[in-house]
Amino acid sequence: MKPLTLRVIQDEHQALAAMLRSIPLLLAEHRRQQTLPDFAALRAMLFYVDEFPERLHHPKESQLLFPVLRARAPECREVLDQLDQDHARGERAIRELEHSLLAFEMMGEPRREAFEALAQRYVQAYLQHMAIEEREILPLAQKVLQPADWYDLDEAFAANRDPLAGHAADETYRAVLDRILNALPAPLGYGPALD
């Protein structure tokens, strides 16, 4: 049976990947229709990335899972170091993207292309990061970690309550979650399917 930690990480990756993939699709659709995107929805999506993956998911990987893996499988140290560097750059990257979105919202068309390009690079880098974790790190963890390792990890990761990963949204996040789900095309969210 797959440990709870791995299920939580994979569920959170799946939810985040679906939302991230929708951003370039939404931007492309608005460009095609020659309309401005729903800036509030985009802000909500970026806030979500900052609030859950950056502040909850990544620290638990870097501070709890990766050290245990380094001890049990020293051959993965280089990959873990790269993933930790990605995590460390995450806060700066999301701030740059939020700033670029604000510039687009405030200044209009002259800033659209820069935001779209930065958003595309951000999404691709994030998806690549998660793919490395899914392909290399999670299977290795399942193979080399011991029951005592999983006990502590499962306890920590069970506390994650990411609303996009299927947990009930805390009332304080309900409006953010609704804003995101209304912007996402069906079947990912509540919004209409993209043409």
pLDDT band at 83 (very low <50, low <70, confident <90, very high): very high
Q: What is the mean pLDDT of the chain?
A: 90
Please give the pLDDT value at position 126.
96
Please give the pLDDT value at position 103.
98
Please give the pLDDT value at position 194.
52
Task: Please state, in angstroms and rounded to a whole number, the distance separating the CA atoms of residues 193 and 182.
Answer: 11
Tell me the pTM. Answer: 0.89
* 85: pLDDT strictly greater than 70: yes
CATH class of 4-183: mainly alpha
Residues 61-68: contacts with CB under 8 Å, at least 24 apart: 61/9, 61/87, 61/133, 62/87, 64/152, 64/153, 64/156, 64/157, 65/5, 65/9, 65/137, 65/141, 65/153, 68/145, 68/149, 68/153
H/E stretch holding 154 reads helix 147-158
User: For the chain, which residues make up each domain, given as ranges?
Assistant: 4-183
* 185: pLDDT strictly greater than 70: no
